Structure 1
């Protein structure tokens, strides 16, 4: 999808790595809330913002506990999606 390494849950992408950032998949309805978090920017690798996805810059995942939190949030959301 984006030319990077990713991890899946039930056939749905939940987290990945892209150009030094962590790609996370979260609820579309919470997109604006997610984008307001520190070190988060829109996932717009194609020139169009993908709502429900975010890029967490490397500065935002330096702490193991913070990285674990992002991965947990994304995995929890991906597990709610229909299996593929």
Structure 2
């Protein structure tokens, strides 16, 4: 939580749920080891919610990439 808003969330098995700008969603969802986040099988969380696999986060630069994307969106959200 940053500024009382979800930015990222650790998921079971080490994956990361990342809240991103809807404007950047398509590009970010196309990143290696990223996918549209689901709330249960086949239930998409929608635009701006991306799940990143744990294996992609082992690299500190990739983890920083995702944290930066989440914080960029967090700073832009006013409500």
| TM-score, length of structure 2 as denominator length | 0.83
Instruction: Please give the secondary structure, in 2, of the residue aligned with 1:28.
Output: coil
> Please, which of 50, 53, 69 is the counterpart of residue 54 of structure 1?
50
Which structure 2 residues correspond to residues 25-64 of structure 1 after superposition, within 5 A? 25-46=19-40, 47-64=43-60
Which structure 2 residues correspond to residues 1-84 of structure 1 after superposition, within 5 A? 8-19=1-12, 20-46=14-40, 47-83=43-79
Stretches of structure 2 that go unaligned for 5 or more consecutive residues are none
Cα displacement (A) at 1:49: 3.6
Cα displacement (A) at 1:39: 0.3
Stretches of structure 1 that go unaligned for 5 or more consecutive residues are 1-7
| TM-score, length of structure 1 as denominator length | 0.79
Cα displacement (A) at 1:63: 0.8
Structure 1 residue ranges (4+ consecutive) displaced by more than 4 angstroms after TM superposition: none
The CA RMSD measured in Å over matched residues stands at 1.4
Paired residues, what number?
A: 76
**1: CA distance between counterparts of 2:32 and 2:56?**
7
